[in-house]
C-alpha cells in the first residue's frame, strides 16, 4: 500500500469525505471518511491509499491538528517592511526570512488598494497553506498606503 506523510491543509469537508492539499507539493488527496476534521485546519498526518484503485486515502495517524489564525490587524507595517517596499515597483513581492521561525512577505500595491489587498490575502487559503508549510502558528497582516506586510509568526 502507498503511504504519504506530511502536512496538509483541509480544503473541504462533508459528512462522508475530506479533501486535503499537501502544503509542500500541492497534491490533492481525498479521504474516504471524515474523521472529524474541519475545513481550514492544518494537519500533520500519515495517509494510506485504499485498495484496489488507490484513489482515496485513509487517515492512519493524526500527529497534530491546528487552526492557523490569519488576522488583518490595525497596525502600520513595521519600519523593516516599509524599507523593503521602498525601492520596489508596484506589484512586487519581497520575501525575507525571520530570525528563528517564519517569514515576512511585503507586497507593494497602489496606494488606494492596500486595505483591499490585505483582505484578499487574509481570505486566500494559500496563506494558511504557506503558514502550514513554514510551521508557524499565526499570520498577521498589516496595511498602509502602498504597502501590505504579511508576517508568518510563531506563537
Residues 75-132: tens digit of each pLDDT: 999 999 999 999 899 999 999 998 888 999 999 999 999 999 999 999 999 999 999 9
Considering the four listed CATH numbers 2.30.33.40, 3.40.50.720, 2.40.50.140, 2.170.120.20, the one that applies to the domain covering 3-67 is 2.40.50.140
Tell me the β-bridge partners of 30. Answer: 19
Rg (C-alpha) for the chain, rounded Å, is 18
pLDDT number for residue 67 = 95
Cβ-count burial of 143 within 10 angstroms (0-12 exposed, 13-18 middle, 19+ buried)? buried
pLDDT number for residue 1 = 60
- Digit-coded pLDDT (tens) for 15-36: 999 999 999 999 999 999 999 9
- Domain ranges in the chain are 3-67, 70-153
Do residues 73 and 131 touch, judged by C-beta distance below 8 A? Answer: no
Amino acid at each position: 500500500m502507498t503511504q504519504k506523510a506530511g502536512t496538509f491543509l483541509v480544503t473541504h469537508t462533508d459528512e462522508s469525505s475530506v479533501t486535503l492539499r499537501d502544503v509542500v507539493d500541492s497534491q490533492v488527496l481525498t479521504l474516504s471518511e471524515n474523521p472529524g476534521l474541519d475545513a481550514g485546519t492544518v494537519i500533520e498526518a500519515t495517509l494510506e491509499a485504499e485498495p484496489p484503485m488507490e484513489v482515496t486515502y485513509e487517515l492512519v495517524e493524526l500527529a497534530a491538528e491546528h487552526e492557523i489564525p490569519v488576522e488583518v490587524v490595525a497596525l502600520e507595517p513595521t519600519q523593516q517592511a516599509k524599507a523593503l517596499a521602498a525601492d520596489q515597483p508596484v506589484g512586487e513581492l519581497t520575501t525575507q526570512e525571520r530570525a528563528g521561525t517564519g517569514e515576512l512577505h511585503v507586497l507593494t500595491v497602489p496606494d488606494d488598494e492596500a486595505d483591499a489587498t490585505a483582505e484578499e490575502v487574509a481570505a486566500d487559503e494559500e496563506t494558511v497553506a504557506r503558514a502550514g508549510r513554514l510551521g508557524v502558528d499565526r499570520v498577521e497582516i498589516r496595511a498602509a498606503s502602498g504597502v501590505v506586510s504579511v508576517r508568518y509568526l510563531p506563537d
